[in-house]
Structure 1
Amino acid sequence: MTDIETRIEQIAQVIGQFDDAQVPRNIRTSSKEAVEQWLLNKNKEMDLRLGMTASIMDEIFNDSNLPIHFGPMCLQVQTVLETLLNEVRGS
């Protein structure tokens, strides 16, 4: 497993923390979709996987129903995804 794939697995685990009873169902569904349909989907190009996951995380962050203590985690995930995306595009 490459370094990028290892980091993607770690990001998926962090996003998995959104599967919490305190988080509204629509946000849990979106975060699960981000991981299953995009981030961990090896049938898609890496930059598309990272970009779409970052986009979904942006939508989640901007959702007014997101519990306030999940906001910083959402921003951290977005930052890491964008860093990885820049690495992938640069190589």
Structure 2
Amino acid sequence: MIERFSPLGTLLAMLIDTITPADLAWQETALCAQTGADFFFPEPGSSVRDAKRICGLCPIRPACLEYALSNDERFGVWGGMSEKERLALRRTAP
């Protein structure tokens, strides 16, 4: 119905842009992909020490953190930072 009022193909182009996946190839080489999600998404109140240790060894950590901040990931350890640490970082960013 909205397509009638927009230039031909405009909505289709917008739809394709929104459903095209981002380049997430870096995730395949990340150490967390070889470890398992249990470390990186612990139960509330559990330690994230093991996840941070693994992240500290991962060469993909900067890309992972950038992804988490750009996509407002609110759960788990991403780029070596917990939810609370990423929230604090977002609050101090300009």
TM-score (norm 2): 0.34
Q: Which has the higher contact order (CA 8 A, sep 6+)?
A: 1
Q: Which has the higher helix share?
A: 1
Q: Which has the larger radius of gyration?
A: 2
TM-score (norm 1): 0.34
